[in-house]
Amino acid sequence: MNLIIFEKITVADKLNSMFDFKFVPQTFMALVVMAIILVFAIIIGIMVRKAKITDKPKGILLLAILFFQTIDNFTLSIMSSRYRDFTKYMIVIVPYLFICFTISLTGLPSPVVYLATPLILALTTFVLVHSAAIKENKWGYFKRYIEPNPVFLPINLISMWAPTLALTFRLFGNALSGFCIMNLVYYGLEGLSDVIFNSSFSGAIGIQSIWIAPLVTPFLHLYFDLFSGFIQTLVFSMLTLIYVSQEQSQEDENQVIEEVVS
């Protein structure tokens, strides 16, 4: 009699569950990531209010300040200083994406593997880009759709969605390929472990399949979760900044003031 404690879910089942838009674990995980960021934000907010200017920042506050400075420099290296408010958006999106990728280190499902999460993130970028363009050009914004001549209107309307699609599938494809390879490796190693330890652990049913995987998979986790997550966060935030800054005028704040004065 061969009882299995956990019912084995194959990779195909997991993938099938990803494409029907129901309440899947990934949706729940997106909320969990949000909750983690919220807790950190509240803690840091309380610490910032308690801190005095004369004291040296310590611990988590120091890390928060360093993080803020890094993001601020990153934003200013691409955008002009007139749009410094954009740092506030980046300070949310960078930890969100990075925690989304790294949460799979804990064994919980990553929300990026669910198509809705990258799609929503890319749509946010889309809204930001077009609102920046409308803010900059006012009614001249609609001129871009009939750019060489009005015949190109349908082509322009389609190509409007190309960056959004690219952003979505870049994130989704990266996360999904890592997820698939990890799952296949886990599945194979469980089988191997079953074969090797089945005789010696015949009393404890189901436990014989967990022995080999922890020796091999940490390196894969290191690449697919940490490295890939970091790179994709960097690429997503940088592309968002570049797309938005293309629509904005590149004059510095100081230049504008100088022009007004002279």
- Interface positions with another protein (CB under 8 A): 11-12, 15-16, 19, 166, 169-170, 172-174, 176-177, 180, 231-232, 234-235, 238
- Per DSSP, the three-state class of 57 is coil
Place of tokens 């089942």: 13
- The distance of closest approach from Cβ of residue 163 to another protein in the complex, given in angstroms and rounded to an integer, is 12
Q: Work out the widest C-alpha separation in the chain, in whole angstroms.
A: 90
Q: Which is nearer to another protein, 35 or 181 (CB)?
A: 181
- The distance of closest approach from Cβ of residue 170 to another protein in the complex, given in angstroms and rounded to an integer, is 5
| Pairwise CA distance, residues 118 & 111, whole Å | 9
**Do 96 and 210 meet the contact criterion of CB atoms below 8 Å apart?**
no
Q: What is the CA angle 210-115-71, rounded to 5?
A: 90
- The distance of closest approach from Cβ of residue 29 to another protein in the complex, given in angstroms and rounded to an integer, is 21
Residues 6+ apart with CB under 8 A from 13: none
| Pairwise CA distance, residues 58 & 64, whole Å | 10
Q: Which is nearer to another protein, 246 or 254 (CB)?
A: 246
Alpha-carbon separation of residue 112 from 96, 167, 251 (angstroms): 10, 12, 36
- The distance of closest approach from Cβ of residue 17 to another protein in the complex, given in angstroms and rounded to an integer, is 11
Q: Which is nearer to another protein, 64 or 172 (CB)?
A: 172
- The distance of closest approach from Cβ of residue 178 to another protein in the complex, given in angstroms and rounded to an integer, is 10
| Pairwise CA distance, residues 221 & 102, whole Å | 9
Q: Which is nearer to another protein, 26 or 174 (CB)?
A: 174
Q: Which is nearer to another protein, 122 or 176 (CB)?
A: 176
